[in-house]
Amino acid sequence: MCDNVRMISSQRQHLILSRLRTRGAVRITALSKELGVSAMTIRRDIADLADKGLLKRVHGGAVSTSTLLSEPLFSVKSQMELGLKDAIAQRAIEYVSPGDVIAIGGGTTAYVFAQHLLESQRANGITILTNSIPVAELVQALESKDVEVIVTGGVITRSNSLVGPIADKVIASLRVNTVFLGTHSVSVPRGFLMPNSLEAATDMAMMDIADRTIILTDHTKWSSTSLSLFARFDQVDTVITDDGLDPDSATKTRDLVKELVLAHGVDEEADDRLATA
Amino acid sequence: MCDNVRMISSQRQHLILSRLRTRGAVRITALSKELGVSAMTIRRDIADLADKGLLKRVHGGAVSTSTLLSEPLFSVKSQMELGLKDAIAQRAIEYVSPGDVIAIGGGTTAYVFAQHLLESQRANGITILTNSIPVAELVQALESKDVEVIVTGGVITRSNSLVGPIADKVIASLRVNTVFLGTHSVSVPRGFLMPNSLEAATDMAMMDIADRTIILTDHTKWSSTSLSLFARFDQVDTVITDDGLDPDSATKTRDLVKELVLAHGVDEEADDRLATA
DNA sequence: AATCATGCGAACATTATCGCACATTATCTC
DNA sequence: GAGATAATGTGCGATAATGTTCGCATGATT
């Protein structure tokens, strides 16, 4: 189709890595067809990248060495405590059933949750409402799935979330089973806070239309603080965090929220998913 | 673009860097055609810039030094017929004034237009309403100083556009000076068509809120056809295409539309023209 | 286990790109 | 304007990237 265009080799290799990050694995035949180059060229590209240790060669293609080593859609920040976010995401998936209509907010934690969700079987036939551009693009990248995505619209923020009156109005006209939100900080006993008051308002709008609210947040958020409160503890059904949370905060939080889930810590078994690919 | 005007080296080098920022990589052959200078000159420019550490030379062109870190905007499809789309985009920029509120639709042609617009000075203080996720991300990625972006929301399509009743409703609540739309096919004398009727409806919604409608489309669209009509010729103010359009279609189209602009494109046939001239 | 399909990689063919040396053209200076 | 100087274009052999062929290995299927 686009045979007349040739990409620079580094562009190809970059795209391969990009695919690897979103899909975890790539096939040589598929890449060859998609990029309009011969399979041999793809092999050579993959060999180069393997020499640099950026991926792992397997029969028929390549898999990523460390799944989430580099995250294209987010800054370096998301590389920290990635194991924690993975663990949290894995637990959160249990709260989704096939056919559900869910909402997913902005931020890296919610994004990692979306990644795990879409790789699992629970994503079958679900509908996702989101104000996060990365989440929307993620679903688009995995076109095979039976997932519908609705984007809220609104003004775009530095963190690639959509906020403002347009977003709030769109959200208000819809309804979802469960909303999954990240948070910038947790304040005991006040609740959950965001640095941006517009984002806080959009999160509130999402909670208003949801039967159930689930907060996804790693334990470091307990020690930071922010400007705008978007949810009190009694408005939240479940808080999912990791077991790095100190016992004192854990007990205090458990008294305030209906359910507190502690996902098991820093794990390196992220390669499980890749082995099957 | 302005092939008959010779740019001085610093202008060329500035443009190369600018391309690099938006696309992540440039190809010497493409730049040579686009700028109307020999490949050797481009090589010397790139060598200069590489000496200053402003880019990295690779076989066939150059890549941005920061391309290793982030390049989510690039897609293979957007490189097709780039010369034509670039020429069209450059002409279209003239229809934007600082401070304008404009709407930009989906598709690669509109995306390339957005790229050029944001590189130019005309983007100062403008507000962009778009239903294209790539366009929205583009503005975000460039950290364009003085540009506000509003995303329509809606259901996401294969082509990363947002459509459906939500998009239409959001659009209907706003108002813009000018709307820039791509099209899948041009039918003389019927009008402009899209393969997806939801996208057609969203394009119509954008036209409804705009004082002026401008269609951006390369000449190949005259020879294809689609399902859903979204605009008749008399509803459109300006059609911008490239001079690869055959004279017969050009005259017929000129009779139907208020203004037809033929941008001087650079494609395969351009070599023939240069050789004979 | 036998068969078939697919993927692999080495060797070679092909094409595109590179960069030198030099010709040409533009630009500047007086 | 004439000459000097810098910038750009051109031809060509060398080089790198990519494509192709084919024998062999691997994985899947029955």
Q: In what order do the strands lie in the sheet with A56-58?
A: A25-27, A61-63, A56-58
Judge if B96 and B17 occupy the same domain.
no
Q: What is the pTM of this model?
A: 0.72
Cα angle A213-A215-A217, degrees, rounded to a multiple of 5: 175
Classify residue A152: in a domain, yes or no. yes
The tens digit of pLDDT for each residue in B39-83 reads 999 999 998 888 887 888 888 888 887 544 444 333 434 444 456
Beta bridge partners of B75: none
Judge if B156 and B229 occupy the same domain.
yes
- State yes or no: pLDDT of A74 exceeds 60: no
Classify residue B164: in a domain, yes or no. yes
CATH of the domain at A49: 1.10.10.10
Overall average pLDDT of the B113-128 stretch: 85
In the prediction, which pLDDT does A81 show? 41
Judge if A125 and A224 occupy the same domain.
yes
Cα gap B82→B188, rounded to integer Å: 25
Which residue, of A63, A92, A108, is where some domain finishes?
A63
The token duo for B31 is 């730049």
In the prediction, which pLDDT does A170 show? 95
In the prediction, which pLDDT does B67 show? 44
Interface contacts (A, B; CB < 8 Å): 122
In the prediction, which pLDDT does A231 show? 96
Classify residue B176: in a domain, yes or no. yes
Judge if A46 and A92 occupy the same domain.
no
Is the preceding omega at residue A189 within 30 degrees of 0, hence cis?
yes
Cβ-based contacts of B59 with chain A (< 8 Å): 8-9
Name the phi and psi angles at A39, rounded to 5.
-65, -35
| Residues of A at the B interface, defined by Cβ within 8 angstroms | 1-2, 4-11, 14-15, 18, 34-36, 72-73, 133, 136-137, 139-140, 143, 148-156, 158, 160, 162, 164, 166-167, 169-170, 173
Judge if A49 and A14 occupy the same domain.
yes
- Cβ burial, residue B137 (10 Å; 0-12/13-18/19+): buried
- State yes or no: pLDDT of B36 exceeds 50: yes
Is the preceding omega at residue B189 within 30 degrees of 0, hence cis?
yes
Classify residue A234: in a domain, yes or no. yes
Q: Which positions ≥6 away from B93 have C-beta within 8 Å?
A: B113, B116, B117, B120, B122
Cα gap B17→B42, rounded to integer Å: 12
- Chain A residue with CA closest to B162: the answer is A151
In the prediction, which pLDDT does B66 show? 57
Which residue did the predictor score with more confidence, A136 or A76? A136
Cβ-based contacts of A49 with chain B (< 8 Å): none
- State yes or no: pLDDT of A49 exceeds 90: no
Name the phi and psi angles at B62, rounded to 5.
-150, 155
Write out the DSSP string of A185-222. Answer: EEETTTEEEES-HHHHHHHHHHHHTEEEEEEE--GGGG
Judge if A116 and A27 occupy the same domain.
no
Q: Are B269 and B245 in contact (CB under 8 A)?
A: no
Judge if A93 and A120 occupy the same domain.
yes
The nucleotide closest to B8 (CA, C1' atoms): D7
Judge if A105 and A58 occupy the same domain.
no
Classify residue A68: in a domain, yes or no. no
Residue B239 Cα distances to B91, B191, B259, angstroms: 11, 11, 6
Classify residue A71: in a domain, yes or no. no
Question: CA of B255, closest CA in chain A: separation in Å?
Answer: 33
Q: In what order do the strands lie in the sheet with A259-263?
A: A259-263, A238-242, A210-216, A176-181, A101-104, A127-130, A148-151, B154-156, B162-163
Number of domains composing chain A: 2
Question: CA of A179, closest CA in chain B: separation in Å?
Answer: 18
Classify residue A3: in a domain, yes or no. no
Judge if B95 and B135 occupy the same domain.
yes
- State yes or no: pLDDT of B3 exceeds 50: no
Cα gap A220→A214, rounded to integer Å: 18
Classify residue A4: in a domain, yes or no. no
Q: Which positions ≥6 away from A231 have C-beta within 8 Å?
A: A181, A183, A191, A192, A203, A204, A207, A213, A215
Overall average pLDDT of the A79-92 stretch: 68
Q: Is A151 in contact with B155 (Cβ distance < 8 A)?
A: yes
Judge if A266 and A203 occupy the same domain.
yes
Q: Are B200 and B174 in contact (CB under 8 A)?
A: no
In the prediction, which pLDDT does B142 show? 65
What percent of chain B is predicted at pLDDT more than 90? 45
- State yes or no: pLDDT of B105 exceeds 70: yes
- State yes or no: pLDDT of A77 exceeds 50: no
Q: Are A91 and A120 in contact (CB under 8 A)?
A: no
Q: What is the biggest distance separating any 2 CA atoms in chain B, rounded to whole angstroms?
A: 54
CATH of the domain at B128: 3.40.50.1360
Cβ-based contacts of B152 with chain A (< 8 Å): 153
- State yes or no: pLDDT of A76 exceeds 70: no
Partner residue facing B58 (CB), from A9, A152, A166: A9
The tens digit of pLDDT for each residue in B181-224 reads 999 999 988 999 999 999 999 999 999 999 999 999 988 899 88
Residue B125 Cα distances to A45, A188, A245, B144, B145, angstroms: 43, 42, 46, 10, 8
Cβ-based contacts of A36 with chain B (< 8 Å): 76
End-to-end CA distance of chain B: 17
Which residue, of B50, B68, B86, is where some domain finishes?
B68
Cα gap A175→A212, rounded to integer Å: 11
- State yes or no: pLDDT of B258 exceeds 50: yes
In the prediction, which pLDDT does A8 show? 82
In the prediction, which pLDDT does A89 show? 85
The one-letter amino acid at B18? S
Quick one: pLDDT band at residue A265, thresholds 50, 70, 90? Answer: low
Nearest to A163 by CA among A112, A107, A214, A109: A107
The tens digit of pLDDT for each residue in A180-236 reads 999 999 998 899 999 999 999 999 999 999 999 999 998 889 988 888 999 999 999
Judge if A56 and A106 occupy the same domain.
no
DSSP state letter for B161: B
Cα gap B74→B24, rounded to integer Å: 7
Radius of gyration of chain B (CA): 19
Judge if B44 and B82 occupy the same domain.
no
In the prediction, which pLDDT does B145 show? 65
Which residue, of B19, B47, B68, is where some domain finishes?
B68
The tens digit of pLDDT for each residue in B216-247 reads 998 889 988 888 999 999 999 999 999 889 99
The one-letter amino acid at B160? N
Alpha-helical regions (H) of chain B: 9-23, 28-35, 39-51, 82-93, 108-119, 133-142, 165-172, 197-208, 247-256, 268-276
Q: Give the structural domain span for B61.
A: 9-68
**On chain C, which bases lie within 7 A of the protein's CB atoms?**
6-11, 16-21, 26-27
Residue A258 Cα distances to A20, A79, A214, A232, A239, angstroms: 38, 30, 11, 12, 8
The owner of tokens 């458990």 is A254
**E strands along A112-206, which residues?**
127-130, 148-151, 154-156, 162-163, 176-181, 185-187, 191-194
Residue A182 Cα distances to A89, A217, A221, B219, angstroms: 11, 6, 10, 47
